Amino acid sequence: MKFELPFSKFQSTGNDFVLIDARDPQMRNHVLSLTRAEIARICDRRFGVGGDGFILLLAHPEYDFEMRNYNSDGGECTMCGNGARALVRFAELQGIKRDHYRFTAIDGEHEAKAEPGLIHIKMKDVESGVPTTAGMTFDTGSPHLIRMVTDLTDFPVVEEGRKLRNSPQFMPAGINVNFVEKANGQTFIRTYERGVEDETLSCGTGVIAAALATSEKSGEVTIQARGGQLKVKFEKDGEAFRNIWLIGPSEKTFEGVIR
């Protein structure tokens, strides 16, 4: 890269992202010309800034902004709920202040609300879960497998997650793998994310999938990830799920310039 790239680092329940304000046309051209290898290097925790993802805030003529997001391997990825929460807070800090946001992402239109300490993101409707031999799958903006386990604390998430992520039944794209345990009236989750190819401390679309998989009726569900708690509100309509909201904190951790 031969230009300066101001960035902000955000974390959403431990899921961390490098965010770039690319609304300026020149900056937009610069960041959209980054190669997959350059984005991966920015996300590298030893040679770059470090992050589970790389997210762009882009101008859009019909929405408050457009979200463009990439995995830490540099590839453009499907919807990221935690990343969207980070981007809404980032947009607010960059001067885009709204009582109610409308933005567009890879899976279409979303709504959002920002309040002190919490960001609310409205996610896409989910028609139903799909049973497989490995567990139940859901498309919550990204494809997720939910596998119920016991003793989640000591479960080999990376080893088992990598096997299932690359299972022939989910190829060629692969799938995000979530291991879920219900214990003492609480729901716990650990996630292996494709594109990161490791366990992350939290995954928003995975938390939504876990809430839908473990809930028998409409309402609000709290899910405990390693990085913190997230809430999911939804309405259950037969096998389908409507009016899904992901709710949780997101905060700026630092900022800098990549040269």
Distance CA 133, CA 214 (A): 17
Distance CA 20, CA 94 (A): 10
Instruction: Yes or no: say if 189 and 228 are a contact pair by the CB < 8 Å rule.
Output: no
Residue 2: which pLDDT band, with cuts at 50, 70 and 90?
A: low
Instruction: Yes or no: say if 110 and 102 are a contact pair by the CB < 8 Å rule.
Output: yes
pLDDT reading at 154 higher than 60: yes
**Domains identified in the chain, total number:** 2
The reported pLDDT for the residue numbered 116 is 93
pLDDT tens across 53-70, in order? 999 999 999 999 999 999
Q: Would you call 65 helix, strand, or coil by DSSP?
A: strand
% of the chain at pLDDT higher than 70: 99
Residues 137-156 have a mean pLDDT of 96
Distance CA 182, CA 168 (A): 28
pLDDT tens across 162-182, in order? 999 999 999 999 999 999 999
Same domain membership, residue 98 and residue 39: yes
186: left (phi over 0), alpha (psi -120 to 50) or beta: beta
Whether 77 is a known active-site residue: answer no
For residue 54, what are its two tokens?
């790389």
DSSP secondary structure letter of residue 126: B
The reported pLDDT for the residue numbered 3 is 78
Same domain membership, residue 156 and residue 115: no
Same domain membership, residue 88 and residue 33: yes
Same domain membership, residue 254 and residue 197: no
Q: Would you tell me how many other CB atoms lie within 10 Å of the CB of residue 191?
A: 28
Closest CA relative to residue 79, chosen from 45, 104, 42: 104
Given 5, 201, 203, 213, the catalytic residue: 203
The dihedral through the CA atoms of 157, 159, 160, 166 has a sign that is: positive
The reported pLDDT for the residue numbered 259 is 85
Q: What is the identity of the amino acid at 107?
A: D
Task: Report the predicted TM-score, pTM, of the whole model to 2 decimal places.
Answer: 0.95
Output the domain CATH number for residue 174.
3.10.310.10
Same domain membership, residue 190 and residue 104: no
Q: For all residues of the chain together, what is the average pLDDT?
A: 96
Q: Which residues of 13-154 form beta strands (DSSP E)?
A: 15-21, 53-58, 65-71, 101-105, 108-115, 118-122, 130-131, 136-139, 143-148
Which residues make beta-bridge pairs with 149? none
141: left (phi over 0), alpha (psi -120 to 50) or beta: left
Q: Would you call 180 helix, strand, or coil by DSSP?
A: strand
Same domain membership, residue 254 and residue 241: no
Q: What are phi and psi of 209, to 5 degrees?
A: -60, -40
Return the minimum-mean-pLDDT range out of 101-105, 120-124, 204-208, 212-216: 212-216
Given 67, 80, 212, 225, the catalytic residue: 80
Same domain membership, residue 201 and residue 140: yes
Same domain membership, residue 136 and residue 116: no
Same domain membership, residue 64 and residue 52: yes
Residues 203-219 have a mean pLDDT of 95
For residue 27, what are its two tokens?
């900056």
Distance CA 88, CA 68 (A): 13
Same domain membership, residue 161 and residue 89: no
pLDDT tens across 11-68, in order? 999 999 999 999 999 999 999 999 999 999 999 999 999 999 999 999 999 999 999 9
Same domain membership, residue 181 and residue 226: yes
76: domain range?
Answer: 5-122+250-258
Which residues make beta-bridge pairs with 3? none
pLDDT tens across 215-230, in order? 988 999 999 999 999 9
Which residues make beta-bridge pairs with 245? 122, 233
Same domain membership, residue 226 and residue 137: yes
